[in-house]
Amino acid sequence: MEKRPFLPLPGIPRHFVLVPDMAGGLRGLEVARAMGLLGGESATGLAPPGLLSAVGAGRFMGVPWWQALVRELEQAAGQPLVHVLDCGASAPHAAMALAQGQRMAVLAGAGRQHDAVRALYRQEGGLLLACRPPTIGL
């Protein structure tokens, strides 16, 4: 499958922290803070980073795990953060994520199920990305 580049969209952070687990998320937030992306007025003028789950985490860890992890990381950051759950190529998991309150997700691949899930996200005011945004290096 051809890898498509991520194109920034309005309302989506320019920088994302990869969150494979709590420890990895905290390390990513430390890097973001060192880059001037967190805490008060950013010296760099950049928006706070978003949080991005590991590839396919929506399939193997689920939405409740992700949302609980996000809440803890937002507390650690001291501010709300945009967060994206990667559902791999699983259209059913992306639909389930939306039903459980996840507003942004990644769904790779194509097909009728994928098209239906994309329509659901549009209808509900969510955002379904076709590819993963880049993450800041650790």
One pLDDT digit (tens) per residue for the chain, 138 residues: 444 444 445 568 888 999 999 999 999 999 999 988 887 555 556 678 999 999 999 999 999 999 999 999 999 999 999 999 999 999 999 999 999 999 999 999 999 999 999 999 999 999 999 999 989 865
Distances (CA, A) of 70 to 21, 65, 101: 10, 9, 13
Residue 102 lies in domain: 16-38+48-136
Q: Look at residue 52 and tell me if it is in a domain.
A: yes
Helical ranges in 3-136 per DSSP H: 22-34, 57-60, 63-77, 91-99, 112-123
* Euclidean distance between CA atoms 70 and 65, whole angstroms: 9
Q: Look at residue 32 and tell me if it is in a domain.
A: yes
How large is the greatest C-alpha to C-alpha distance in the chain, in angstroms?
Answer: 45
Q: Look at residue 5 and tell me if it is in a domain.
A: no
Q: Look at residue 6 and tell me if it is in a domain.
A: no
Q: Look at residue 57 and tell me if it is in a domain.
A: yes
pTM: 0.86
Q: How many domains does the chain have?
A: 1
Other beta carbons less than 10 A from residue 103's beta carbon: 16
Of 9, 18, 20, whose CA–CA distance to 121 is shortest?
A: 9
Q: Look at residue 21 and tell me if it is in a domain.
A: yes
